């Protein structure tokens, strides 16, 4: 059986690392899509829709391929926290999250020429209490840049997390267990 090319429709270095860790060979394609939220769009619908748009952009460019796309957001009190626009935005996000529980949602879409499968993974994360100086020190590390919710659980951000319920890799940006199941459904068996 001829194996189909796998395309990761994402510029995320974390997603690349996770796919490499699974032993997958893949190419990178970074689709340019409008990530604006639609009026009254629920968080789950937003990340599912964005992952589908990214996957569909990849499938139009790469035929006879498996396209993997994802979109991760952080939600607290119904407020969606995407990537911070600047350091002040990162500070406000982290201050909102400190000492509280929030949810990380990743919309995952995998498609082939004949099938599109979408899934949304939910993980609960509890931050410890933080002082303003701790938040500023974390921001100064630069790790908060380009991360949903302004933190990276796989780096120094692990020091912010008191507990987690669900898929750890979802918080990193790619729910690998769900991905493995979807790939198997499309005939790509990793195990």
64/31 Cα distance (integer angstroms): 18
* 71 has catalytic annotation: yes
Dihedral-angle region of residue 166 (phi above 0 means left; psi in -120 to 50 means alpha; beta otherwise) = left
Closest listed residue to residue 14, CA positions, set 83, 102, 65, 98: 83
7/55 Cα distance (integer angstroms): 9
Residues 6+ apart with CB under 8 A from 83: 145, 146, 147, 148, 150
Of residues 45, 64, 71, 89, which has the active-site annotation? 71
Active-site positions?
A: 71
């Amino acid at each position: 059986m001829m194996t189909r090319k796998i395309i990761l429709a994402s510029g995320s270095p974390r997603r690349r690392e996770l796919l490499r860790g699974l032993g997958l060979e893949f190419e990178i394609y970074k689709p340019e899509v409008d990530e604006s939220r639609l009026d009254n769009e629920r968080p789950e619908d937003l990340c599912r829709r964005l992952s589908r748009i990214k996957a569909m952009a990849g499938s139009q460019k790469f035929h006879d391929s498996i396209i993997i796309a994802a979109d991760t957001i952080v939600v607290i009190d119904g407020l969606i926290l995407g990537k911070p626009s600047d350091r002040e935005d990162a500070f406000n996000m982290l201050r909102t999250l400190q000492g509280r529980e929030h949810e990380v949602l990743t919309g995952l879409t995998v498609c082939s020429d004949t099938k599109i499968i979408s899934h949304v993974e939910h993980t609960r994360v509890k931050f410890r209490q933080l002082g303003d100086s701790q938040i500023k020190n974390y921001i100064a590390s630069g790790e908060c840049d380009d991360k949903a919710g302004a933190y990276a659980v796989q780096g120094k951000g692990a020091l912010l997390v008191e507990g987690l319920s669900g898929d750890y890799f979802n918080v990193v940006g790619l729910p690998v267990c769900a991905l493995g199941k979807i790939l198997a459904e499309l005939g790509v068996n990793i195990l």
